[in-house]
Amino acid sequence: MGTPVLIDISSTLLLIAFLLYIVATICFVVTITGKKWSVEQGENPKKKWGKIGFLTTLVGFGCHLGFFFLRWIGQGHTPTSNMFEFMSVLSLTVILGFIIIHAIYRVASLGAFVLPVTVTLIGWASVFDTNPKPLIPALQSHWLTLHVTTVSIGEGIFAVGFAAGLMYVLRTVDQKKSSAQTFALEFFLFTVLILVGFIILSFLFSAIGYEVSFEYINERGEEQTITYTLPAIAGPHEGEQITAERMQPIISTPSWMQGVDAPRKFNTMIWSVLGGLVLYVGLRLLIRKRLGAAMQPWVMELKPSMLDEISYRAIAIAFPIFTLGGLIFAMIWAEQAWGRFWGWDPKEVWALITWLFYATYLHLRLSRGWHGAKSAWLAVIGFIIIMFNLVFVNLVIAGLHSYA
Amino acid sequence: MADKVKNKRFVLRVTVLVIIALALGGALISAFMNDDTPVRVGEPAPDFRLDNVEGDSVRLSDFEGQGVFINFWATWCGPCREEMPDIQAQYEVFKDQGVEVLAVNIAESELAASRFAERLNLTFPILLDHDRTVTKQFEVGDIPSSFFIGPEGNVVDKHTGILTEDQIKAYMEKIRP
Amino acid sequence: MEQIRCECGHENPYGTEICQSCGKPFDNKQDILNMRYEGVARRSQTYNKSLVDRIWNFFASVRVGMTMLFILLVASILGTIYPQQMYIPQTVEPLLYYEEQYGQLGYLYALLGFHNLYSSWWYITLLVLIGISITIASIDRFIPLYRSLKRQGVRRHPSFMSRQRIFGKSEVDHPEKVMHRVKAQLQKQRYRVREEDGALLGEKARFNRWGPYVVHVGLIILLIGALIRIMPGVTMEEYMWIRDGETVPVPGTDRQFYVKSEGFDLDVYDETSAEEWVPEEFRTEAVLYENVAEDKMGEPQLEEIKRQTIKVNQPLKHDTLKLYQSDFILNEFSEFSFHVKHKQSGDILGEVTVDLYQPQSQYDLGGGNKVELIEYYPDFELDENQQPATKSNIPNNPAFIFEVTTPHVPEGEHSWIFVGQKIEAPGNENQYELSISDVQFNNVSGLMVREERVLPIIYTGLGIAMIGLMMCYYWQHRRIWIQQEGNEIWLAAHTHKNWYGMQKEVVKLIESTELMNPSHLKISKDFLDKEE
């Protein structure tokens, strides 16, 4: 279906955008870390690198937009209907959020933390099935485009608030002694490394085309064949391996894990955690201090008050957009498609939870005691909730929205 | 002056709180206390009109002054098949004492219903609820389901599930005019 | 409950932090002034005596509101651990279902009522309490804030000025001239300017301050709509199955409306290539009628009011009544035709066509040949006594007993027909046989019937809330005070959000009017930077 040529071009554009974002990230990191450079005559080299980084980001954004529209034309509907498309659109709107906030505050170094979010999201998106799929009747509506893009724009700007919040935490945490905050920060960075580990492993094993299949009795008591794309550390409970010459499972999935394809998901989780552990421990051995402590000098030159304000401002700008897309458009569409504007579907509830969370955040900002570290942590948690809703609720908690 | 302000304030607060309390109380009570069934024991039964298997129109209100036993059934329902002969037997006893039986068949063909009645020698009217309107009106879920309407048109009792002949007799005595 | 008398002579109510006339702060500190709610006395802070006051103060507290919001948040999360009851099969016993699917935890979940969390009395009560909290907290803050901003003076007390985050002063030679220039420049920067004995107040986007209250009004309307919705009889949710060609009353409308299906159909994407087919479109060609008969229970008199193809995402709407494409059954048997054949000669006497929903009993083939349908089982099975019976009224597995009467067999002979097989009545050899000659199929369309009368309320609430949110976050209330203090001109500025933007505007103002050197401007470092 559609025009395969355009889809191919769009995929290439996404790859180019991905690479440009990596280049831009490096430029931004140079901006914030290269303080030892002497100021030569002419332009401040830091400013120059910031400018180069921002221009690279803009070019990347252009390619990314090209991906979006070519895929739209190529498949005949907006690329907003499966996990790959949701994530690549979100990665696009994160950059949009960065451009908006940059236009207000002109803090290029923010890019050093925002762009990795996009890079990770594009990488993550590519783990899912990237083939265009025909649109089922429930999704054939202009509201699909409106709802998903508006929500994404809101979430993209929330992501900028998250990045600034994270930078605030990195900047202000006292790394001289270990505390609950340093622990929480390390734990968060570890979680990010789990994700990175998952993406790298998925790519490695899909590059060599690894597959191993099992037969087992699934959660509905039916016989099922399940195919792993990662070597099986945990096989299905009382499962039988049907692909020869592959690693034998070391353990079996606990029988109480009952869900669609639970054994494979459990196995993937083990791999991801192991991958994250290897990365984390490796890095710790390499730099011999907390990751947070190693990153702290990067952000040392930034003013905490500026980061606090950017984080708050980004969330304040994003909140009405999220309300419009995630609640109002969602209700109008739900009314039109399902005959009820609100149905307590898990995805809807999680959108409400996200909304309530940020509403609480904005109210707490009224009192001065919640400025600074507390509010920065809330900005971080808020984005974790968004990612949870995007990934976990779609893939694990079944509901009307689980298309991916 | 301060007292005046204070009084005004007090009045405002009380007014706002009372309005909220009344509005919410009303809303919550009607939402949670209402059992939302249109056919309640002690209240008038909703009137309806259906065709019987002969094609004649029958209304519940035609039987004012008589006790009416409304039985919802279908040929595919085992317990319905089982209790029919007992209903017929009691009908023959109470027919002359002013009790009528209306057997409402749920969404089956006229042929299926009339053949069934012929086979069991049923002599009371068999009504056909093709589109389940009356079934929904009486909120019938499981069948057999029986409603007992007194001579004044009020629901005297209702019963879901199979009835024994003794029960049928007792109910009929209750609605006898 | 003493009134606070300011040195300017103004009587301020108890609890006031900043004089409502001249702006003198009543605390004797030197740090940056807390400008929240303009330092007015909030009602909740004033009295704390009677029960009424206590209830009022409870709901007016932001802390209480936030706590309730947090509980709501956590409760909502709990409700998504396992599917809610509305998403599990409707026929099963919930406690058993949850235990079977999710083990002990599932059982506990259902036992505690979490499977019906969002309609539980305590969840709704929580929503209601939040609604009350929003209402009272808004009244408590809005009225004094509105008065304060409405009545605010232009000339401020020196200590009010010097304790603003953006403050500057400089000596000038001709204060009047400078003030004149400043006024013009403020207007150029689109400030609304008020002047009062040598003092200027430039103000911008004051409506931004009403934003939160507009949002709250919208949310209250939304909550009221939601509350009305749970009252009986406000919404109607029904379901109907309709066969191709049928005209049936719309459930829930007391025979006011009838709908006819002129056929259900479905399209599939690229049938050949896909491993499993993906539907492209479901649609029912529907006609909506209104029954205009006086007596709704009597013979309906139908008048066509609308003709539309109902698709997913394109419901049929008539006033508040809506019909949605929801489900379908393809290829249900609708008609069977039989040839009646004389077995020996092979002559076909005629054809009998049986409508499987409303079968006739007599079929006249002419020439004295008759067929009677004696028994009909739409969904044939043998019951517990091994007697023929039907499982349902849907013709999934139709079975028939016919009696054929001809001049040759005036007493008639019986034949049994099941789908796919024939059995003759045992005992005697039949002369005639019936064989299926044609089968007709029907599609059945599942339509959802909805009437949502609160929809306008809900949308109004959402719209108002959205406008309020934009007022809150896309505009900022900015104020600049400029006044003569002897030979000096003092400048102070305040905003609630976006200090960065405020700062830029002040710098622009002083640079273009040469009011003072920007380095004279004291922009207080943020509290956070100080804390380091």
Instruction: Look up the CATH number of the domain holding residue C498.
Output: 3.30.310.80
Is B76 in contact with C376 (Cβ distance < 8 A)?
A: no
The answer to whether A54 touches A112, Cβ cutoff 8 Å, is no
Q: How confident is the model at residue A232 (pLDDT cuts 50, 70, 90)?
A: confident
Q: Which of A219, A90, A59 is nearest to A154 (CA)?
A: A90
Is C392 in contact with B76 (Cβ distance < 8 A)?
A: yes
Q: Give the helix ranges, DSSP H, for A129-231.
A: 142-172, 180-207
The rounded distance, in Å, linking the Cα atoms of A370 and A384 is 19
- Residues A145-191: pLDDT tens digits? 999 999 999 999 999 999 999 999 999 998 888 899 999 999 999 99
Does residue C78 belong to the interface with chain A, where contact is any CB pair within 8 Å?
A: no
Mean pLDDT across A195-203: 89
Does residue C225 belong to the interface with chain B, where contact is any CB pair within 8 Å?
A: no
Is C500 in contact with A319 (Cβ distance < 8 A)?
A: no
Q: Which of A242, A247, A210 is nearest to A226 (CA)?
A: A242
Same domain, yes or no: C495 and C433: no
Q: How confident is the model at residue A92 (pLDDT cuts 50, 70, 90)?
A: very high
Token reading at A165: 């919040």
Does residue A289 belong to the interface with chain C, where contact is any CB pair within 8 Å?
A: no
Provide the shortest C-alpha distance from residue C480 to chain A (in Å). Answer: 21
Q: Which residues of C touch B59 (CB under 8 A)?
A: 297
The residue type of C61 is S
Q: In a 3-state reduction of DSSP, which class is residue A175? A: coil
**pLDDT value of residue C84:** 83
The residue type of C84 is Q
The rounded distance, in Å, linking the Cα atoms of C433 and C490 is 113
Q: Which of residues 70-99 of A touch C (CB under 8 A)?
A: none
Backbone angles phi, psi at B30, to 5 degrees: -70, -25
Q: In a 3-state reduction of DSSP, which class is residue A370? A: helix
Mean pLDDT across A223-246: 82
Of B24, B108, B111, the CB nearest to C373: B111
Same domain, yes or no: C108 and C135: yes
Is B109 in contact with C376 (Cβ distance < 8 A)?
A: yes
**pLDDT value of residue C271:** 58
Q: Which of A372, A381, A31 is nearest to A172 (CA)?
A: A372
More confident residue, A264 or A333: A333
The answer to whether residue C482 sits within a structural domain is yes
The last residue of one of the domains, among C96, C130, C148, is: C148
**pLDDT value of residue C428:** 59
Cβ contacts of residue C433 below 8 Å, gap of 6+?
Answer: C340, C341, C343, C415, C422, C424
Same domain, yes or no: C141 and C68: yes
The rounded distance, in Å, linking the Cα atoms of A312 and C497 is 9
Can you say whether the dihedral through the CA atoms of A203, A205, A211, A217 is positive or negative? negative
**Which residue of B lies nearest to C60 if distances are taken between CA atoms?**
B13
DSSP state of A326: I
The residue type of A324 is L
Provide the shortest C-alpha distance from residue B140 to chain C (in Å). Answer: 14
Is B6 in contact with C55 (Cβ distance < 8 A)?
A: no
The rounded distance, in Å, linking the Cα atoms of C464 and B90 is 65
The last residue of one of the domains, among C148, C169, C194, is: C148
Q: What is the dihedral of CA A103, A107, A109, A111, to 10 degrees?
A: -20
- Residues B10-46: pLDDT tens digits? 788 888 888 888 877 777 676 666 555 567 788 888 8
Q: Which residues of C touch B47 (CB under 8 A)?
A: 297
**pLDDT value of residue C273:** 56
The rounded distance, in Å, linking the Cα atoms of A10 and A64 is 8
**pLDDT value of residue A136:** 85
**Which residue of A lies nearest to C467 if distances are taken between CA atoms?**
A320
Of B76, B81, B110, the CB nearest to C393: B76
Q: Which residues of C touch B20 (CB under 8 A)?
A: 132, 135
Q: How confident is the model at residue A213 (pLDDT cuts 50, 70, 90)?
A: confident
Mean pLDDT across chain A: 87
Burial category of A9 from C-beta neighbours within 10 Å (exposed 0-12, middle 13-18, buried 19 and up): middle
* Mutation choice for B interface testing from C58, C297, C362 by most B CBs within 10 A: C297
The rounded distance, in Å, linking the Cα atoms of A215 and A221 is 12
Same domain, yes or no: C144 and C160: no
The rounded distance, in Å, linking the Cα atoms of C221 and C215 is 10
Q: Which residues of B touch C389 (CB under 8 A)?
A: 75-76, 78, 81
Same domain, yes or no: C131 and C186: no
Q: Which of residues 378-397 of C touch B (CB under 8 A)?
A: 378-379, 383-384, 389-393
Does residue A303 belong to the interface with chain C, where contact is any CB pair within 8 Å?
A: yes
Mean pLDDT across A304-319: 92
Same domain, yes or no: C487 and C522: yes
Does residue A331 belong to the interface with chain C, where contact is any CB pair within 8 Å?
A: yes
Mean pLDDT across A386-395: 80
The residues with which B145 forms a beta bridge, in sequence order, are B72, B160
The rounded distance, in Å, linking the Cα atoms of A145 and A135 is 12
The last residue of one of the domains, among C393, C414, C437, is: C437
Same domain, yes or no: C350 and C387: yes
| Active-site entry in B70, B80, B102, B126 | B80
- Is the pair A, C in contact (3+ CB pairs within 8 Å)? yes
What's the N-to-C CA distance of chain C in angstroms? 40
Q: ipTM, 2 decimals?
A: 0.88
The answer to whether residue C372 sits within a structural domain is yes
| Total domains present in chain C | 3
The rounded distance, in Å, linking the Cα atoms of A97 and A350 is 22
Q: Which residues of B touch C129 (CB under 8 A)?
A: none
Is A364 in contact with C269 (Cβ distance < 8 A)?
A: no
Burial category of C203 from C-beta neighbours within 10 Å (exposed 0-12, middle 13-18, buried 19 and up): middle
Provide the shortest C-alpha distance from residue B78 to chain C (in Å). Answer: 8
**Which residue of C lies nearest to A317 if distances are taken between CA atoms?**
C473
Is C378 in contact with B31 (Cβ distance < 8 A)?
A: no
How far does Cα C321 stand from its chain's mean position? 17
The answer to whether residue C411 sits within a structural domain is yes
The rounded distance, in Å, linking the Cα atoms of C75 and C126 is 10
- Is the pair B, A in contact (3+ CB pairs within 8 Å)? no
The residues with which C257 forms a beta bridge, in sequence order, are C290
Please indicate whether residue B77 is annotated as part of the active site: no
CA atoms within 13 A on the CB side of C198: 11
**pLDDT value of residue C529:** 41
In order of A110, B64, C284, the CA distances from B59 in angstroms are 78, 10, 34
Specify the long-range contacts of residues A253-261, CB closer than 8 Å, at least 24 apart: A256/C103, A258/A219, A258/C101, A258/C102, A258/C103, A259/A219, A259/A396, A260/A219, A260/A398, A261/A226
Same domain, yes or no: C386 and C420: yes
* Mutation choice for C interface testing from A146, A171, A360 by most C CBs within 10 A: A360
Provide the shortest C-alpha distance from residue C46 to chain B (in Å). Answer: 10
Provide the shortest C-alpha distance from residue C66 to chain A (in Å). Answer: 6
Token reading at A355: 């909304």
Is B75 in contact with C390 (Cβ distance < 8 A)?
A: yes
Token reading at A127: 């783990």
Q: Which residues of A touch C472 (CB under 8 A)?
A: 316, 320
**pLDDT value of residue C426:** 58
Same domain, yes or no: C114 and C187: no
- Parallel, antiparallel or unpaired: strands B126-129 and B99-106: parallel
Of C52, C230, C360, the CB nearest to B13: C52
The answer to whether A99 touches A92, Cβ cutoff 8 Å, is no
The answer to whether residue C276 sits within a structural domain is no
The rounded distance, in Å, linking the Cα atoms of C509 and C520 is 13
The answer to whether residue C23 sits within a structural domain is no
**pLDDT value of residue C171:** 82
The answer to whether residue C188 sits within a structural domain is yes
* Mutation choice for C interface testing from B50, B59, B131, B134 by most C CBs within 10 A: B131
Looking at chain A, which subunits does it touch, using at least 3 CB pairs closer than 8 Å as the criterion? C
Write the DSSP string, B86-124: HHHHHHHHHGGGTEEEEEEEES--HHHHHHHHHHTT--S
CA angle (A373, A375, A381) in 5-degree steps: 105
Same domain, yes or no: C184 and C98: no
| Ramachandran sector of residue C484 (left: φ over 0; alpha: ψ -120 to 50; beta: rest) | beta
- Is the pair C, B in contact (3+ CB pairs within 8 Å)? yes
Provide the shortest C-alpha distance from residue C451 to chain A (in Å). Answer: 9
**Residue A353, pLDDT above cutoff 70:** yes
Burial category of A26 from C-beta neighbours within 10 Å (exposed 0-12, middle 13-18, buried 19 and up): middle
Write the DSSP string, C167-180: EEEEE-S-HHHHHH
**Over the range A154-174, which residues count as b (16 or more CB within 10 Å of their CB) and which as e?**
bbbbbbbbbbbbbbbbbbbbe
Listed as ranges, residues in chain C with pLDDT below 50 are: 527-532
**Residue A123, pLDDT above cutoff 70:** yes
The rounded distance, in Å, linking the Cα atoms of C137 and C391 is 61
The rounded distance, in Å, linking the Cα atoms of A330 and A86 is 15
The residue type of A304 is P
The answer to whether C374 touches C414, Cβ cutoff 8 Å, is yes
Q: How confident is the model at residue A21 (pLDDT cuts 50, 70, 90)?
A: very high
The answer to whether residue C26 sits within a structural domain is no
The answer to whether residue C196 sits within a structural domain is yes
Looking at chain B, which subunits does it touch, using at least 3 CB pairs closer than 8 Å as the criterion? C
Is A104 in contact with C118 (Cβ distance < 8 A)?
A: no
The rounded distance, in Å, linking the Cα atoms of B36 and A153 is 44
Rounded (to 5) percent helix, strand, coil in chain C? 35, 35, 30
Mean pLDDT across B87-107: 88
Q: Which of A194, A377, A190 is nearest to A291 (CA)?
A: A190
The answer to whether C503 touches A305, Cβ cutoff 8 Å, is no
Is C361 in contact with B111 (Cβ distance < 8 A)?
A: yes
Residue at token pair 């709990």? C78
What domain range is C402 assigned to?
A: 335-437
Q: Which of A85, A84, A97, A87 is nearest to A159 (CA)?
A: A97
Token reading at C188: 């150029």
The rounded distance, in Å, linking the Cα atoms of A255 and A379 is 37
Same domain, yes or no: C342 and C406: yes
**Residue B60, pLDDT above cutoff 80:** yes
CA angle (A83, A86, A88) in 5-degree steps: 105
Tell me the longest C-alpha to C-alpha distance in chain B: 92
Q: In a 3-state reduction of DSSP, which class is residue B155? A: strand
Q: In a 3-state reduction of DSSP, which class is residue C429? A: coil
Backbone angles phi, psi at A149, to 5 degrees: -65, -40
* Mutation choice for A interface testing from C74, C120, C240, C312 by most A CBs within 10 A: C312
What's the N-to-C CA distance of chain A in angstroms? 19
